[in-house]
Amino acid sequence: MTVPPVLLKGDDLFEDDPTLGPYENTRDLSKYLLMHYGRIDDVFERPHHPLATSHGYPQRLSDLLELCALRSGTRVRRALDVGCSVGGVAHALGGWVEERVTGIDVSPRSIDVARTLHRHGCGTFSVVQQGPYTREVHVRVPVPGEGRARVDFEVGDACDLGLLGETTRGVDAAVLSNVLDRVADPERCLRQFTDSDAFLRPGGLLMVACPWSWYPAYSDPERWLGSSSDHTPSEEAVKQLLGTAFDLLAESDEGAVLRQNPREYDYFEAHVTVWRKR
Ligand SMILES: C[S@@+](CC[C@H](N)C(=O)[O-])C[C@H]1O[C@@H](n2cnc3c(N)ncnc32)[C@H](O)[C@@H]1O
């Protein structure tokens, strides 16, 4: 029997390495691994937890996009998961996309973890319990093969998809999950899809999921979607921008949790829209 790889070392959970970028320290990666791949009883230690319905966020996004593809008759051979972190949405998409799913993230450490997990099909990491105590979690991803798309991961900038070459050209679907409020220039990121057919082909699907949780640490308030002067909510601003080139297929709110410890969770609700390019 092969020993599952250690994706993150438990001791590093309490190290705060200032040389690492946002979302790169071990504690953040551990929280995203748990959110993306943990079973419900890895996340919540008692049954019938009040936040239990927020479990399984990556699969819910993938299911919604698949439903939109089926209903609109859109064939999805290649898809992108932009700002993929440790790759949960990319792996979920791999269950129904026909040929290839590429996860892209600016964080080399996140991509490294996603690749290791993908290569081995499983892995272990630690989550915080109480004080200095941690608990080991074992996660799995589906084995590549029959009926599944090839899944791979690349380091890249969501606002400069052209730098990734052919991988990002002419795809049939792209997911931007919880990334627009984390990039320096969210409009520039979206305009790659509205102003050009280079990345997403006409007729292709774009899914935007975001809690619109803006912070100046990530983007200048002048660039936030939704203007502070006329109080346009971000939900409306994104519709105005994408409505110039896309038709809206679906809109929903999807809850998700990042677990801090067994008694503390960060709950957020992503505003989710799915669009078809004209
Ligand atoms: C809030 S996390 C969301 C992760 C995942 N998409 C999800 O929904 O769980 C934001 C992710 O975006 C990545 N990110 C931030 N700026 C980026 C950029 N310019 N290009 C690509 N990824 C970026 C971060 O490294 C992080 O993994």
Of ligand 1's listed atoms, the one at least distance from the Cα of 159 is: 19
Of ligand 1's listed atoms, the one at least distance from the Cα of 158 is: 20
The predicted structure's pLDDT at residue 22: 84
Please give the biggest Cα pair distance in the chain.
61
The predicted structure's pLDDT at residue 119: 94
Give the residue extent of every domain in the chain: 10-277
The predicted structure's pLDDT at residue 228: 67
Residue of minimum CA distance from atom 14 in ligand 1 = 83
Residues flanking ligand 1, CB < 6 Å: 23, 32, 83-85, 105-107, 110, 157-159, 177-179, 182-183
Q: How far is the CA of 114 from the centre of ligand 1 (A)?
A: 13
Query: What phi and psi, each to the nearest 5 degrees, are found at residue 34?
Result: -65, -45
Q: How far is the CA of 47 from the centre of ligand 1 (A)?
A: 31
The predicted structure's pLDDT at residue 1: 62
Q: What is the pTM (predicted TM-score) of this model? A: 0.97
Residue of minimum CA distance from atom 27 in ligand 1 = 85
Q: How far is the CA of 180 from the centre of ligand 1 (A)?
A: 8
Distance of CA 238 to the CA centre of its chain: 18
Beta bridge partners of 269: 255
Under 8 Å CB-to-CB from 86, ≥6 apart: which residues? 29, 32, 33, 36, 37, 110, 113, 114, 117
Along the 278 residues of the chain, how does pLDDT read in single tens digits? 678 999 998 888 998 888 888 899 999 999 999 999 999 999 999 999 999 999 999 999 999 999 999 999 999 999 999 999 999 999 999 999 999 999 999 999 999 999 999 999 999 999 999 999 999 999 999 887 878 899 999 999 999 999 999 999 999 999 999 999 999 999 999 999 999 999 999 999 999 999 999 999 999 999 999 976 678 999 999 999 999 999 999 999 999 999 999 999 999 999 999 999 99
The predicted structure's pLDDT at residue 52: 97
SS3 of residue 52 by DSSP: helix
Of ligand 1's listed atoms, the one at least distance from the Cα of 184 is: 19
Q: How far is the CA of 48 from the centre of ligand 1 (A)?
A: 30
Q: How far is the CA of 90 from the centre of ligand 1 (A)?
A: 13
Q: How far apart are CA 97 and CA 90, in angstroms?
A: 10
CATH class in words for 10-277:
alpha beta
- Our mutation pick for probing the ligand 1 site, out of 182, 190, 254, 272, counting the most ligand atoms within 8 A of Cβ, is 182
Of ligand 1's listed atoms, the one at least distance from the Cα of 81 is: 6
The model's pLDDT over 123-176, given as tens digits with 9 standing for 90+, comes to: 999 999 999 999 999 999 988 787 889 999 999 999 999 999 999 999 999 999
Q: How far apart are CA 215 and CA 218, in angstroms?
A: 6
Q: How far apart are CA 111 and CA 154, in angstroms?
A: 7
Parallel, antiparallel, or unpaired: how do β-strands 122-128 and 134-140 relate?
Answer: antiparallel
Q: How far is the CA of 156 from the centre of ligand 1 (A)?
A: 10
